[in-house]
Amino acid sequence: MSIHTDLRVTLKESMKAKDEVRLRTVRGIMTACTNELVATGRTPQDELTDDQTLNVIKRLAKQRKESIVQYEAAGRPELAVPEKEELVILEAYLPTLMSQEAIRPIAEAVKAELGVDDKAKMGVLVGAIMKKLQGQADGGDVKAVVESLF
């Protein structure tokens, strides 16, 4: 079963269970998926591929993380609570990301392969690692590992 179909089933289950947080989150995902379909010239009844759906969910999770940081920086933790609840549900649909310890050997290999020796080419190295990992690692973690190599 595709992720898109699974989301539709979860939406119905959330309605029956009266799980407001899950319902709100899944509705948001479904809306973002519909917007993606329309933006790519398809009808809302079509389905996104699993990769496209994961990209939408990653984008929504990133938005939640940014909102949490902004709310907490502004001294409004009560607004960050619903964002955190939604983030937990969004992350359940995402594959687990690699740890910094797992990224390090790959980063060292790519660094040696490209021959990067100075900090000026750090962005090139991060880009190459992200391309090699293809979404299996968080960009912030990759950047932290690369910074520790210099």
CATH number of the domain at 141, please.
Answer: 1.10.10
Residue numbers of the domain that contains 87: 3-93
What pLDDT does residue 63 have? Answer: 93
d(CA 33, CA 38): 9
Examine the domain organization and report whether 139 and 85 are in the same domain. no
Count the domains in the chain.
2
What pLDDT does residue 15 have? Answer: 93
What pLDDT does residue 35 have? Answer: 93
Last residue of a domain, one of 67, 93, 119: 93
What pLDDT does residue 79 have? Answer: 93
d(CA 92, CA 60): 13
Nearest Cα neighbor of 44 from 27, 55, 30, 60 is 30
Q: Would you say the pTM of this structure is higher than 0.85? A: no
Mean predicted confidence (pLDDT) in 16-35: 93
Q: What is the mean pLDDT of the chain?
A: 87
Report whether pLDDT(122) > 90: no
- Summarised one tens digit per residue, pLDDT across range 67-95 is 999 999 999 999 999 999 999 999 898 88
d(CA 44, CA 26): 16
Angle at 39 between CA 21 and CA 45, to 5 degrees: 65
Report whether pLDDT(119) > 80: no
Examine the domain organization and report whether 78 and 59 are in the same domain. yes
Examine the domain organization and report whether 12 and 82 are in the same domain. yes
Last residue of a domain, one of 54, 69, 93: 93
What pLDDT does residue 95 have? Answer: 81
Examine the domain organization and report whether 64 and 44 are in the same domain. yes
Examine the domain organization and report whether 7 and 81 are in the same domain. yes
Examine the domain organization and report whether 77 and 128 are in the same domain. no
Examine the domain organization and report whether 106 and 121 are in the same domain. yes
CATH number of the domain at 17, please.
Answer: 1.10.1510.10
Last residue of a domain, one of 45, 62, 93: 93
Mean predicted confidence (pLDDT) in 57-72: 93
Give 58's contacts (C-beta < 8 A, 6+ positions apart): 94, 135
Examine the domain organization and report whether 11 and 85 are in the same domain. yes
